[in-house]
Structure 1
């Protein structure tokens, strides 16, 4: 997705919060807040007439909550990227939302600069996760499977270069930064990302991060 004119929807049941978020995003030249909605049903009613690239979606809402909305987006609008808004760093919730295909997470008390960075990263690379997300996923994975990973097994499926690219993706490097660090082209990085998604069965970069955490790569 180009960083020019990124179309955004804000879905949250608190009008004041939506207004503040819209003010933050409207101050960025490349962003355009297309519409706001108070719940998932209102979102889909508007989406039918006003397409967007990114949805900033609250988890807890009346009528149709964020989890149900995310699930429906993945079924009916798979190209729309979703940044989930949460109040709590819940390991169980984060794992579940990643499984459902969330592209990123933000706590509702993040600084404005973090919100802008999250939208930019999701628009450009399809994924944005703060440190607390990686930590929550790692804790949850260890609790389920113990401390051991499966890196040796994965090396038989993924090449060394693919493992390098996947590790850097999980460290929040952009495609350009990965290319610079590995001395390869951005197009080559994109090729490795597509190959990784095919081999791991991941629908998007969020799925790749989840795969890496669950298999002890990071």
Structure 2
């Protein structure tokens, strides 16, 4: 698995490299200190996963992420941020990032996140998912609660969408609803197709924006 590290802080780059190079199937193919360098290296190295800082000189991580996604590159982007309520984290997800993680993430969580994103099962740090999204939604125009019917979702699919918004993995969703993981994956694929979205993180964003998930609701 080819990984590109993008951050303007050398010590953080070193730390992430040490953690990820400890995995036999991971290869750090390059490092970049700003968004412009990241775009060049994505084009030349074709990494599977890009760990992308937000605040960098020359070009920030948000713009770099937008351009990577717009280019049609297969590389998946994981946004890294220092603060769990960072407004830029949500913008990163809207820009097309496949995941959002805090820079102080535990080594094993970082490794797991890279594997999940590379496999297509994008993640949002579970302990900050709802706070991040609810904070964003509160500054948006008020939306009426929705049952997802107008989007063509079944009742079960709406339950899966809400579980994704809780930050649950496929295995956790399977346990919650007494389903097999294969069935959960099938539901997720159908949801992505019906909503015409790229990955499960985009589903979570849609859930809050559409009213399927309402901040503060039980």
Report if TM-score (shorter chain) is over 0.5. Answer: yes
Q: Tell me, yes or no, if structure 1 residue 51 matches structure 2 residue 46.
A: yes
Question: Aligned match of 2:82 in 87, 90, 102?
Answer: 87
Superposition pairs for residues 27-176 of structure 1, below 5 Å? 27-90=22-85, 92-130=87-125, 131-146=127-142, 149-152=144-147, 154-156=148-150, 157-176=152-171
1-structure distance, mates of 2:177, 2:85: 34
SS of the aligned residue for 1:71 comes to helix
Q: Is the 8 A contact 2:81 2:89 kept in 1?
A: no
Residue-pair matches, total: 211
2-structure distance, mates of 1:133, 1:183: 24
Q: Is the 8 A contact 1:101 1:204 kept in 2?
A: no
Give the 3 Å change call, closer, same or farther, for CA 69–178 of structure 1 in structure 2: same
Q: Tell me, yes or no, if structure 1 residue 25 matches structure 2 residue 47.
A: no
2-structure distance, mates of 1:81, 1:197: 17
Q: Is the 8 A contact 1:90 1:136 kept in 2?
A: yes
- Give unmatched runs, 5+ long, in structure 1: 1-5
TM-score when normalising by structure 1 = 0.83
- Give unmatched runs, 5+ long, in structure 2: 214-218
Give the 3 Å change call, closer, same or farther, for CA 90–169 of structure 1 in structure 2: closer
Q: Which moved more, 1:66-75 or 1:177-186?
A: 177-186
